[in-house]
Amino acid sequence: MRTAGFLSFVLAALPCLRVASAGCRVVSRGITRDLLLRGTVITPEGALPNYTVLVQSGKVTYVGDSCGLGTRARDASHIECADSVISPGFINTHEHIEYSTVRPLADIGELVDHRHDWRVGARGHTPRYAPVNGSKVEATRWGELRHLFSGTTSIVGGAMVSGLTRNLDYVAGLEDGLVAPVALNDVFPLDDADGIMRNGDCDYGPEPMNRETAGKLHRYIAHIGEGLDAEAANEFACLSNMTFDNMPASDGGGLSTDLIAPNLAIIHALGLSTADFDLVAARDAQVVWSPRSNVFLYGKTLNVTYLLEAGITVALGTDWLPSGSATMGREAVCAASFTEESYGMTLEPKTLWEMMTLNAAKVAGFEQDLGSIEVGKLADIVVFDGQAQGRSDMKHQSDAFAQAIFAPAENIELVLRGGKFMLASNGLKSLSTDTCETLAFGNVNKTACVADELGSSFKEFEASLQGVYPAILPAVPPDEPSCELTRCYPTTQNQCSIEDHFTINTQQVLHR
Ligand SMILES: [Zn+2]
């Protein structure tokens, strides 16, 4: 008894000691599955060095100064993550996750002005459709692994498998006992899957989303205005103005409506004007931003600083593997670099981090349970070690938020979903179970614990897919779609200003 009492005293005292070493390591092994993490915790209030997070029964039960813990963590395993940052897991608010076993599209040097140009080859364009490769279920599982192994714990992805990431658009995909209404993720709110484009009326398909149905949804996350032209702008007009088109079409549909409300999140929104965004802001609607896919397909993306200044909640999403980012980290790199190069504006790492965590939870309607490390929320936590990736001139190399959002996958020390070990560095291997396996992330080994979710080892699953696009992506993913500025306007030659973007419909576009 005396020994046990002494041990409890030592464990309770340990959090107050400072241990300096890179990465995470197990300081003491507990008698329960509770975990005590210590490192720099990043929160909407800022980065809090030398803070502790206690995880019990899958939830966060304490966040604060380590000396205030008392004995409540005495049964937990203590993990010291000096020089690392402890972040909520990323939330990806836009994916077409079933397209995860195809390779990114090749750049054929052809920019388009509307999604139907590349989707169906409208207006003489080359169709760029990328069919789902093999089993949709296996592709979805593979895509969830890719995101999980790069720090994303929740996805709005249009398809789901059990386990792995949470699926915030499926009740069955919420995991860990989370019970909540889910988001409706809509690719064709105007029933225009066949490639219908309109300008001046709303004669799309016969069954567009209506105001009454949309109004009842917890969250309605919908593709609107994916394009740069008048036809893309027309989509917003048809969904934001009751009087824009009062003439029903003969075979159904044809009427404009108004869905702009706090439960709406607009995916892409490229065709919206400043006045449109002012309406979005006034109505408290939200925007999902997928910069890499926008830039690769259309040559540009939103000047998101205007939206932020207007007070719009913006969340990041990767769109899909064929034209978007393979990971949320690569989406953040694109978002920051394009905004700076194209618009001359700086997006602070903390702002981008909010788009990947708390804002994303709000957009998906899960801010009560996810999106930050707070007492009572689910313990979806990612720990990042090392330096941020990105351009060598990136100003924020020492910023804790940059360390998280720009981290290459090999920098991940730990991924917890609901307190469950999903991926860990070798320094934490002693906490893994028999079903965990060692996987190479570039030059470093990690321990992955996904066999329960897959029904096989990761390596067996990988082998069964016979050489599809990888799910483990250290450094820059292979064949990554470009995030380089490819469109400018006659008035400014090599610089695209905010005014250029929002007057696109009245200016001649130069392709270069
Ligand atoms: Zn999409």
Q: For residue 8, what are the contacts with CB-CB under 8 A and spacing of at least 6?
A: 71, 74
pLDDT of 4: 38
- Res. 333: pLDDT tops 60: yes
Convert the pLDDT of each residue in 489-499 to its tens digit. Answer: 544 445 544 44
Q: How many C-beta neighbours within 10 Å does residue 107 have?
A: 14
Q: Which helix (H) or strand (E) holds 96?
A: none
Å from CA of 169 to ligand 1 middle:
14
Å from CA of 443 to ligand 1 middle:
33
Q: For residue 157, what are the contacts with CB-CB under 8 A and spacing of at least 6?
A: 92, 95, 96, 97, 98, 140, 143, 144, 165, 167, 169, 185
Å from CA of 318 to ligand 1 middle:
9
State the Cα angle at 322 between 308 and 360, rounded to 5°. Answer: 30
pLDDT of 134: 85
Residue written as token pair 């090749």: 106
Mean pLDDT of the chain: 90
Q: Tell me, rounded to whole angstroms, the distance of Cα 231 from its chain centroid.
A: 28
Å from CA of 287 to ligand 1 middle:
13
Q: Give the span between the Cα atoms of 169 and 360, in whole angstroms.
A: 13
Instruction: Work out the average pLDDT over 206-210.
Output: 97
Give the CA radius of gyration of the chain.
23
Å from CA of 320 to ligand 1 middle:
7
Q: Which helix (H) or strand (E) holds 15?
A: none
Convert the pLDDT of each residue in 145-192 to its tens digit. Answer: 999 999 999 999 999 999 999 999 999 999 999 999 999 999 999 999
Name the nearest CA neighbour of 97 among 408, 318, 330, 266: 318
Instruction: Work out the average pLDDT over 440-446.
Output: 95
Å from CA of 317 to ligand 1 middle:
9
Instruction: Work out the average pLDDT over 25-36.
Output: 96
pLDDT of 238: 98
- Res. 17: pLDDT tops 70: no
Which of the residue ranges 25-29, 40-44, 415-419, 507-511 would you say has the lowest mean pLDDT? 507-511
Instruction: Work out the average pLDDT over 346-374.
Output: 97
Which of the residue ranges 9-18, 112-121, 380-389 would you say has the lowest mean pLDDT? 9-18
| DSSP 8-state symbol, 471 | S
- Which residues, in sequence order, are bridge partners of residue 88? 381
DSSP letters spanning 160-171? --SSSSEETT-G
10 Å CB burial of residue 296 (0-12, 13-18, 19+) is buried
Å from CA of 309 to ligand 1 middle:
25
- Res. 503: pLDDT tops 60: no
Q: Which helix (H) or strand (E) holds 56?
A: strand 46-56
User: Domains of the chain, with CATH numbers?
Assistant: 90-488 (3.20.20.140)
pLDDT of 395: 53
Å from CA of 7 to ligand 1 middle:
54
Instruction: Work out the average pLDDT over 311-337.
Output: 97
What phi and psi, each to the nearest 5 degrees, are found at residue 65?
-60, 135
Name the nearest CA neighbour of 352 among 319, 383, 329, 323: 329
Q: Which helix (H) or strand (E) holds 80?
A: strand 77-88
Cβ-contact 303, 269 below 8 angstroms: no
Q: Give the span between the Cα atoms of 323 and 105, in whole angstroms.
A: 6
Q: Give the span between the Cα atoms of 320 and 216, in whole angstroms.
A: 28
pLDDT of 66: 83
Q: Give the span between the Cα atoms of 175 and 377, in whole angstroms.
A: 14
Convert the pLDDT of each residue in 54-91 to its tens digit. Answer: 999 999 999 999 888 999 999 999 999 988 999 999 99
Question: Residues of the chain with pLDDT > 70: what percent?
Answer: 89
pLDDT of 385: 93
Convert the pLDDT of each residue in 379-421 to its tens digit. Answer: 999 999 976 655 444 555 569 999 999 999 999 999 999 999 9
Q: For residue 166, what are the contacts with CB-CB under 8 A and spacing of at least 6?
A: 153, 154, 155, 173, 174, 175, 176, 178, 370, 380, 417
pLDDT of 442: 94
Å from CA of 471 to ligand 1 middle:
20
- Res. 300: pLDDT tops 80: yes
- Res. 229: pLDDT tops 90: yes
Q: Give the span between the Cα atoms of 32 and 179, in whole angstroms.
A: 25
Q: For residue 132, what are the contacts with CB-CB under 8 A and spacing of at least 6?
A: 98, 99, 101, 102, 139
pLDDT of 15: 41
